Amino acid sequence: MSVVTKWGSADDGVVLVTGGARGIGAAVVRAFAETGRRVVAADVREDVLAEEVAGLVAGGLDVHACAVDVTSAPAVETAVSDVEDRHGSVSVLVNGAGVLRTGEVTGLSDTDWQDMFAVNTTGVFLVSRAVARRMVPRRAGSIVTVSSNAGGVPRVAMAGYAASKAAATMFTKSLGLELARYGIRCNVVAPGSTATPMLTGMGVSDDQLIGGSPETYKVGIPLGKLARPEDIADAVLYLASPAAGHVTLQEIYVDGGATLGVKA
């Protein structure tokens, strides 16, 4: 059970989580569902999403699937409308969809750059815009974007990813400034190295991540361990909950101290 429990129900509106099929997104979906909220998990990976949601439903949780490509404006608009028609008003949005491609700038392909910005930045814009347009008349809501500590601290071979996440972070904070007058809060969670399939795909060992890499100017993780997806989900849950009712435009780093408490 998550650290913030039983603070809502299906009557408090729907929680929409993008990237909900695997990794941090899936952990966020479960965390909200375990508080009693109705959750819609959205992802482009339809088969993987269906499997994940089926398991949660079998466990008695109120979770529903929504297959959508967050890089397509028409698809996003259709999906958000469908979610509200079928399941109720979206009161919490979690932007969890993301892709990571590594490589130094001189060797980074156009496609890798475009793919990261399409999902990590444009996807956040499109989904947030669609949901915010519906939250504004209701004068309530919470938006949390899952960014990265790489969005505030330079990383070798991660310039494209870092740039896309930095853009998503500043977009979310600026959106929060615009929406504050409507009582809508917008915040950011910036994870460090987290035990997910995305991290595994980087091909770097846990020991290297925890110990750091002096040759690439990368500090290790002071807490001596990788984050679990649940660690990130707990931070997201807090920011979306009434416990953070006076918190907006903020960014929480959940990285075990890897950035030494320094933010851009």
Measured CA to CA, the distance from residue 112 to residue 157 in angstroms comes to 12
Measured CA to CA, the distance from residue 119 to residue 147 in angstroms comes to 12
Burial class of 93 by CB neighbour count within 10 A (0 to 12, 13 to 18, 19+): buried
DSSP type of residue 195: S
Q: Any idea what the Cα angle at residue 74 is, between residues 69 and 75, rounded to 5°?
A: 30
Q: Name the residue among 172, 194, 182, 181 with its Cα closest to residue 93.
A: 172
Characterize the bridge pairing of strands 184-191 and 141-146: parallel
Q: Is 238 a catalytic residue?
A: no
> Which amino acid, 205?
S
Q: Which of 161, 182, 238, 253 is catalytic?
A: 161
Q: And the tokens for 75?
A: 């698809």
**φ, ψ (nearest 5 deg) of residue 211:** -80, -20
E runs forming strands in 96-220: 141-146, 184-191
E runs forming strands in 29-174: 38-43, 63-67, 90-95, 141-146
Cβ pair 25, 41 in contact under 8 A: yes
**For 70, how many CA atoms within 13 A lie in the half-sphere containing its CB?**
33
Task: Assign 45 to helix, strand or coil.
Answer: coil
Which residues have a catalytic role annotated? 161
